[in-house]
A and B are shown apart, each in its own frame.
Chain A
Amino acid sequence: MFKVLLSRLGQAALVMLVVSAVSFVMFRYVGDPVATMSRENASVEEKEELRRSLGLDQPLVVQYGRFLTRTLSGDLGISYRNQRPVTALIAERLPATLELVIVATILSLALGIPLGVLCALKPDGVAARLVQALSLVGISTPTFVTGIVLILVFAVSLGWLPSFGRGQVVDLGWWSTGFLTISGLKSFILPGITLALYQLTLIMRLVRAEMIDVLSSDYIRFAKARGLPTRYINFRLALRNALMPVITVTGLQIGSLIAFAIVTETVFQWPGMGLLFIQAVSFVDIPVMAAYLLFVGLLFVLINTVVDILYAVVDPRLRARSA
């Protein structure tokens, strides 16, 4: 187990090195930062001065080395747009996105798994057919359409729920949470559903397919032949086997939810990472974009490692192999 962990960490470090190189190249070569940062009528001397102060006159390797040391010490540069450290910007926005993603993931697991099991157990039932049909709608409707329709119905027409923002947030030192106020909780509902919908249908369909497979396996037939109660067979013996691939998919999906919550955050004006990124793109705010790239890379590497370890916890066969 320790060996496997060590090799996984080595691989992770390698991936991060590549990502940082890409991020650096982007930082250095997409557009001229000096032109973006200086006043329109700045003289050549002023520009050169700025270039020197940013260290852009140094050789490439030195620049990359400096970039790496700075990154490792947590300094991701200063945003061109609002002249604040990128690290601070991300730290400020991260809680909003993470909380939204946690809500969406819990929602999709809590609904997706039972619905998937239902569809697998009674494939010809009315409920299963309805769920199947709806899931097709869910998987094929673009996120922004779902979001806008939800806003139209629940915020504009009915006026039950807020249409944008996080509501009131409570500051817990370095973390600001929306879980502790009524308006904060209410604000989660619409964007949470919007973000969860795609993942929900994905998990439901996956669980359904896996369950159907597992239910026809020999060990489930053997369990039936031993006369065990149906509920016990379905929910303890079969479901555990069916959830193996769900772990992988959920893990990867959490990654993409955090990285690509952009559309949902834009629709609901949610002050998270996605919105930060969109604003950075429209202003060619290279440090923010580069930091975002690094952050997303780190996130995926971390999640993949966690998923691998989880797999070994759930499946005894993998435990033996890696021991």
Chain B
Amino acid sequence: MNAQSIPALAIDSLRVEYPLANGSVFTAVENASLVIQPGEIHALVGESGAGKTTIGNTVMGLLEKPGRIAAGSIHIDGKKFDAVKSSATGIVLGRDVGAIFQDPMTSLNPLFTVESQLTEAMRFHLKLDKGSARSRALELLESVGIPEPKRRLKAYPHQLSGGQRQRVVIAAALSCNPKLVVADEPTTALDVSVQAQILKLLRDLADSRGIGILLVTHNMGVVAQIADHVTIMHRGKVVETGSTEEVLRRPKAAYARALIGAVPRIDQRLDRFPVLGDEGKGRAETARAELRAKAGRSEADADETPILSIENLCVDYTTSGWLPGSTGHRFRAVDDVSFSLRSGEVFGLVGESGCGKTTIANVVSGLVRPSAGRVLYRGQSIAGEGATRRVGPLRQAIQMIFQDPYSSLNSRMRIGSILSEPILFYRLATSRAEAERDVTRLIEAVGLDADASQRFPHAFSGGQRQRLSIARALGARPKLIVCDEPTSSLDVSVQAQILNLLKDLRDATGLTLLLISHDLAVVRQMCDRVAVMRHGRLLEQADSETLFDKPQHPYTQELLSLVPTLDRIRGETQAA
């Protein structure tokens, strides 16, 4: 970058405030400064609540009332941004600043064609007529790499895949030749392989068109792969800024070090995730010991028969036909899958969205019926051929932890009732008083304070709620817990805590875990054995170490090579 060029974006000591109802003021961003040169990708990193999205929204002119710019200045392409009008003279949002949003499934209007949504900005900002806007839209679709662009122009958003939709969003952002593009978590909602393509596209666009890109993200791997500069934020303040290599390899601030350390590594397995602060061991340890004593390891645990085996499992989803009783289209979600879990191990099931991994979790927990094959729990069929109805102990033995901690706890029930429900239902306590003691023990075992039982779920953060979901699953004294993406909606540091907790609980109570995830790094850190799925089929299963070090199947190799990780930093790979 030459020093004379006008920066695409220059933010100087920005302060954004939200006045609160009680008269005080919440400062979302304080004293933040950053400069983006044309053709440069600048990553803004931090956990939820760090203020990174607030900066992105401010630059896009989408700062929600009553939020306001209290101090500092923003220059876009050298022109000053008016804090009151939320715009800069000579700068038109949409023409000079492009926006890319997180979720391509919701950022396109479902009732309008791709053509209409691509051309409208050009017609308003560049005053193009329908015909020339259309031919330019066609060019844009080609340049973002959409196959058959002519046909896609006439398509509605629901006819495109997630990756294609995100390409359309990028094309729309580029439609008026912006100087700056604000990309807010552009790949978070996408699969690894699609993410890799989109990231490459963003990098190419920055290089070839000289667009400055402000990349708001929480994913360190993404940052390592495409960003030139990084700014790490924590609670509204910038804690560290510099070149990607500098910051990721040699972080100076303690928070930056901790944040980078909490990112699960894919290259080697660690015993525990490094986490911020102490984990409040003492009481939790005692509670876990008590849990373990209560669970009482039975003889069956020691025996060699697999705790869960899945034999030639097939699941079909059918749409109903137009006559009652007839069937329409059939879709095979799981196709002839077999694997088994040994008692006490953590078994990982990985794959991209739609590969059937969640369907298997649902079959194991009894939420979906298999079309063929069967599932055995300790040699007894629980789903499919010869299945007995799940009653009492069988139901109790298999519990589940869901992905979204916000919707998996009933918001109208107190934590105490939520946790005592399985205990009372399975008659695991002789009296209410004993159940209450059990609840306290569970809450302490997952590292929360005992007074949590009096509160409602909304009083807890996402990570705390996920701890409570784990406590609820443990309440039934299960032998096997099915965890469906247990940490994918959590911040990195919280994810590290939750994964550590699952590891500790597994060690303490001898649980078996079936971990479903799309995050290969998490799987490597957590699992003893791993199975890889694609299009409903099981491609490969092996010991975790073997699979990650010497993947056999080409698809596994491809997946592993596409994961953005900290060990492949952009500056370095180019130098090498």
Contacts and interface: CB of A to CB of B under 8 A. Distances in A.
A317 B158 contact: yes
B69 interface: no
B416 interface: no
A217 interface: yes
B95 interface: yes
Interface string B283-311: 00000000000000000000000000000
A6 interface: yes
Contacts of B95: 227
A222 B107 contact: yes
Contact of A6 (B93, B111, B322): B322
B237 to A, nearest CB: 26
A139 to B, nearest CB: 29
A227 B111 contact: no
Interface stretch (B98-106, B211-219, B367-375, B527-535): B98-106
Contact of A317 (B94, B110, B124): B110
Interface string A181-195: 000000000000000
B125 interface: yes
Name which of A3, A7, A223, A315 has the most chain B CB atoms within 10 A of its CB: A223
Contacts of B322: 3-4, 6-7
A217 B94 contact: no
A8 B121 CA distance: 41
Contact of A225 (B93, B108, B109): B93
A225 B156 contact: no
Contacts of B125: 227
A241 B121 CA distance: 19
What does DSSP make chain A's interface, helix, strand, loop or mixed? helix
Interface in B50-66: 60-62
Nearest to B156: A316
B92 interface: yes
Given A218-B101, A232-B124, A225 B94 contact: yes
A221 interface: yes
Given A7-B323, A219-B107, A232-B120, A225 B158 contact: no
A127 interface: no
Contacts of B156: 316-317, 320
A221 B101 contact: yes
Contact of B109 (A219, A227, A320): A219
Contacts of B317: none
A116 to B, nearest CB: 18
Contacts of A226: 93-94, 98-99, 120-121, 172-173, 175
A222 B109 CA distance: 9
B124 A315 contact: no
A317 B158 CA distance: 7
Nearest to A314: B111
B272 to A, nearest CB: 38
A229 B158 contact: no
Given A225-B60, A232-B124, A316 B111 contact: yes
B110 A222 contact: no
Nearest to A218: B106
A228 interface: yes
Interface residues of A, number: 26
A219 B92 CA distance: 19
A292 to B, nearest CB: 31
B124 A222 contact: no
A320 B111 CA distance: 12
Interface string A220-259: 1111111111001000010011000000000000000000
B406 to A, nearest CB: 18
Nearest to B108: A219
A240 B112 CA distance: 10
A227 B108 CA distance: 15
B169 interface: yes
B207 to A, nearest CB: 24
Nearest to A223: B109
A315 B111 contact: yes
A254 B323 CA distance: 29
B353 interface: no
A220 B109 CA distance: 8
Contacts of B107: 218-219, 221-222
A315 B103 CA distance: 21
B109 A241 contact: yes
B132 interface: no
Contacts of A227: 61, 92-95, 97, 121, 124-125
A225 B120 contact: no
Contacts of A237: 109, 112
B268 interface: no
Nearest to B172: A226
A135 B142 CA distance: 51
Contact of B121 (A217, A228, A315): A228
B159 interface: yes
B110 A225 contact: no
B110 A228 contact: no
A240 B109 CA distance: 10
Nearest to A224: B62
A7 to B, nearest CB: 4
Given A4-B322, A320-B158, A228 B111 contact: no
A240 B116 CA distance: 14
Interface string B151-184: 0000010110000000001001101000000100
A218 B175 CA distance: 19
A222 B94 CA distance: 9
Contact of A320 (B60, B94, B159): B159
B94 A228 contact: yes
B322 to A, nearest CB: 4
A217 B99 contact: no
A241 B124 contact: no
Contacts of A222: 99, 101, 107-108, 169, 172
28 contacts: A3-B322, A4-B322, A218-B103, A219-B110, A221-B101, A222-B99, A222-B107, A222-B108, A222-B172, A223-B109, A224-B62, A225-B93, A225-B94, A225-B182, A226-B121, A227-B61, A227-B93, A227-B95, A228-B121, A228-B124, A229-B124, A237-B112, A240-B112, A315-B111, A316-B110, A316-B111, A316-B158, A320-B159
Interface of A: 3-4, 6-7, 217-229, 232, 237, 240-241, 314-317, 320
Given A219-B106, A222-B101, A226-B99, 9 more contacts: A220-B109, A221-B101, A224-B61, A225-B182, A226-B94, A226-B98, A227-B93, A237-B109, A241-B110
